[in-house]
Amino acid sequence: MPEGPSVRKYHHLVSGFVGQQVIKTGGSSKMLSPASFQSLWLQDTQVHGKKLFLRFDPDEETRSHGNNALPEPLEGERMEEAGDQKQAVGSDSQKISDPSSRSPELAVPSGDDGLDCLGGDSPAGDAERWLEVRFGLFGSVWVNEFSRTKKANKKGDWRDPIPRLVLYFDSGGFLAFYNCQMSWSSSSVVKPNSDILSEKFHRGQALEALGQEQPVCYTLLDQRYFSGVGNIIKNEALYRAGIHPLSLGSLLSPLQLDVLVDHVVEFSADWLQGKLQGRQQHQQIYQKEQCPAGHRVMKEAFGPPGGFQRLTWWCPQCQPKVPPDKPEQGQLS
C-alpha cells in the first residue's frame, strides 16, 4: 500500500480536476459502476494518511473553479512501498510496478494495511457524496495517460494493467485509478491529529502511543497514531534514530522517543517534497545489505502475535536493542 507521501502526491494530481464535470467513464470496477460517475462534478478532494477522498455532486457548485489548470507531470523517479519489493518507474514519475504479472483485481489483506471489500454502487442521495479510495500494494493514480507494462509476465504476455476506474472530464483530461478499492460514504473520515503530514498532527498522542510496553516497530505502523506510515518510513526512521525495531517503547527514554517522532515526520515531509520536485528519495537501510557505516544489515519479519508480519531491516551496531538482544536474535540477510 502506498505510504502517506505517495497518497499526498495523488491528492496533488487529483486536485487539478476540482470544479470539472465527468463526461465519460471506464474501468474494471465491479464494486462501483463506473457509469455512476457520469455527469457528476468533482467538488472537493481530501487526503488522510493512506486514504484519498473525492467529493462528487450532480450540481455545478464549484464552476468558478472550473478553469483550474491540469497538474503537469512531475519529472524524475519515484519509489513506492509494495510488499517490501522495489518498484519499477514510469515515464513521468507515475508508478509502474511490474503489474504485468499481477491481476488488476489484486486481493489485499483487510485491516489497516489492507483493503476491505466495500460496496455501494452509487451515491445514495445528497448524504453520500464522498468516494473513499484505498490503494492496494501497487495502487496508483495516473493523469492523462495509462500505465504501461515494462516487461512480460511469467507467461510471456505483455498485457498492460487494467485501470479500476477512469474518469474523463470536460477539460479534455482524465484520471486513471489502479489497484484500489472504492466506496461511497456520507463524509470524508479525516482525523488530522494522527496524520504524520498534517499540520494538526498530535505529537503528544504519538509519543504516548510509542511509550507502550511493546516493540516500537509495531506502534509505528498503527494508523490510529501514525496515519500514513508504512514499512519504508518505519525502517528509515528507526535507523536514523538509532533504535532497534524490537526495543520496547516503555524502556526508551523520552529523548529517544522524541527523536524517533522527529525522524518519522522529517523523513515523510522530505519524501513528499522530493516527489513534488521529481527527486527520488534516498533510503539508508530499507532493502539494503549494508548500512551507511558499512555494517552488515539484518532482515527479519516482525509483527504482533497473530498480526501482520512486515519485513524489517536494521543494523545491530547502529541500532542496539533495549533491553539487550539475545545472541540468537535475527537472521543475516
Task: Tabulate helix, strand, coil % of the chain (nearest 5).
Answer: 25, 20, 55
pLDDT exceeds cutoff 50 at 81: no
**CA dist 90 to 96, 140, 168, Å?**
5, 11, 21
For the chain, the C-alpha Rg in angstroms (whole number) is 21
Determine which one of 51, 78, 95, 310 is catalytic: 310
pLDDT for 125: 53
Rounded mean pLDDT of the chain? 80
Round to whole Å and give the CA distance between 215 and 122: 42
When pLDDT is cut at 50, 70 and 90, the band that residue 46 belongs to is very high
When pLDDT is cut at 50, 70 and 90, the band that residue 189 belongs to is low
Cell numbers placing 329? 536474535
pLDDT for 278: 85
When pLDDT is cut at 50, 70 and 90, the band that residue 187 belongs to is confident
**Residues whose CB is less than 8 angstroms from the CB of residue 275 and which lie 6 or more positions away in sequence, other chains included:** 5, 6, 8, 9, 74, 78, 93, 281
Determine which one of 3, 80, 81, 132 is catalytic: 3
Q: Is 289 a catalytic residue?
A: no
* Helices 4-15 & 254-277 angle (0-180, nearest 10): 40
Out of 208-222, 275-289, 315-329, least confident range: 315-329
Tell the burial category of 282 from Cβ atoms under 10 Å away from its Cβ (0-12, 13-18, 19+): exposed
pLDDT for 147: 86
Residue 234 has phi, psi (to 5 degrees) of -55, -55
Determine which one of 8, 9, 50, 55 is catalytic: 50
pLDDT exceeds cutoff 60 at 330: no
Mean pLDDT value of segment 221-230: 95
Q: Is 279 a catalytic residue?
A: no
pTM attached to this predicted model:
0.75
pLDDT exceeds cutoff 90 at 293: yes
Q: Which long-range contacts (CB under 8 A, 24 or more apart) does 267-272 make?
A: 267/233, 267/236, 267/237, 267/240, 268/3, 268/4, 268/5, 268/196, 268/197, 268/228, 268/229, 268/233, 269/197, 271/3, 271/5, 271/233, 272/4, 272/5, 272/8, 272/9, 272/197
**Residues whose CB is less than 8 angstroms from the CB of residue 1 and which lie 6 or more positions away in sequence, other chains included:** 50, 81, 108, 113, 114, 134, 135, 136, 137, 139, 230
Mean pLDDT value of segment 95-114: 32
pLDDT exceeds cutoff 50 at 93: no
Instruction: Summarize pLDDT for 297-320 with one digit per residue, the tens.
Output: 999 999 999 888 999 999 999 999
Q: Is 50 a catalytic residue?
A: yes
Three-class SS of residue 310? strand
Determine which one of 2, 5, 99, 104 is catalytic: 2
Cell numbers placing 168? 474523463
Q: Is 210:219 a contact under the CB 8 Å cutoff?
A: yes
Mean pLDDT value of segment 50-57: 94
> Counting runs of H as helices and runs of E as strands, what totals does the chain give?
5, 8
Residue 157 DSSP code: -
pLDDT exceeds cutoff 80 at 95: no
Q: Is 201:193 a contact under the CB 8 Å cutoff?
A: yes
Domains, the chain, ranges and CATH? 4-185 (3.20.190.10), 192-314 (1.10.8.50)
Q: Which residues pair with residue 227 across a beta bridge?
A: 195
Q: Is 310 a catalytic residue?
A: yes
pLDDT for 128: 62
pLDDT exceeds cutoff 70 at 126: no
